[in-house]
Amino acid sequence: MLKGKTALVTGSTSGIGLGIALALARQGANIVLNGFGDFEGPKAQVSGLGVKVGYHGADMGKPADIEDMMKYAAAQFGRVDILVNNAGIQHVAPVEDFPPERWDAILAINLTSAFHTSRLALPAMKKADWGRIINVASVHGLVASAHKSAYVAAKHGLVGLTKVTALETATTGVTCNAICPGWVLTPLVQKQVDARAAANGVSNEEAKKQLLAEKEPSLQFTTPEELGELAVFFCSDAAKNVRGVAWNMDGGWAAQ
């Protein structure tokens, strides 16, 4: 379905981003990966699906890095047809104890980076009259949890940016939508599980059950593969008039 298209997925060397990159690659899209840590393994996984794959190690908190990444993608692949803004970090603390530098970093990576990638990708998408911007927000873009002020603020902001971008492209072949997952067992969430297990003196499995029981009625983690298939749907012709939605895949979390 996506043969000849190029998808750039930020924060895609593991977790949700890699799951989305693999799902798009299975549909024939060439992929530009981004992220820290091991990238050769993910590159091999994606290229094993028979598509071209590139990698750029841009720090998504740095606008100059983002500009360089977008130039790299255009030089290597022509243009970015599908932009998936997935990069994100987390810090948990009450507002009065929240380190200002962590607030700034979370807003920069979880929200501002999506503004920069979008503003740089949109001209070529509009010229081609086809494009997909998919912002990976969170159920925390729809509802809040205590001790996550920066993350919740950034994800609410990302949902807002999604709506504005959708309105500005409403009469074109470019769409913009947000995916709002509940708990996904990514490395980021595994750290929270580990901390809970240590604090409560319980096993890792029990800590997972406790985490899910607090928020997610299905008592199941959403998987990167499921989120990848939703991204594929957003790229399909069936979704060409799906614009500005914040689609929660959260096991019933926001329905409560």
Active-site amino acid positions: 151
User: Which residues touch 219 (CB under 8 Å, ≥6 apart)?
Assistant: 209, 212, 213, 251
Torsion sign over Cα 109, 111, 117, 120: negative
- Helix, strand, coil share (%) of the chain residues, nearest 5: 50, 15, 30
Burial (CB count <10 Å: 0-12, 13-18, 19+), residue 238: exposed
Q: Three-class SS of residue 207?
A: helix
Distance CA 163, CA 180 (A): 14
Q: Which two tokens stand for residue 93?
A: 């603390």
Distance CA 136, CA 181 (A): 8
User: Which residues touch 12 (CB under 8 Å, ≥6 apart)?
Assistant: 18, 20, 21, 31, 33, 34, 35, 42, 84, 86
The residues facing 135 across adjacent strands are 85, 178
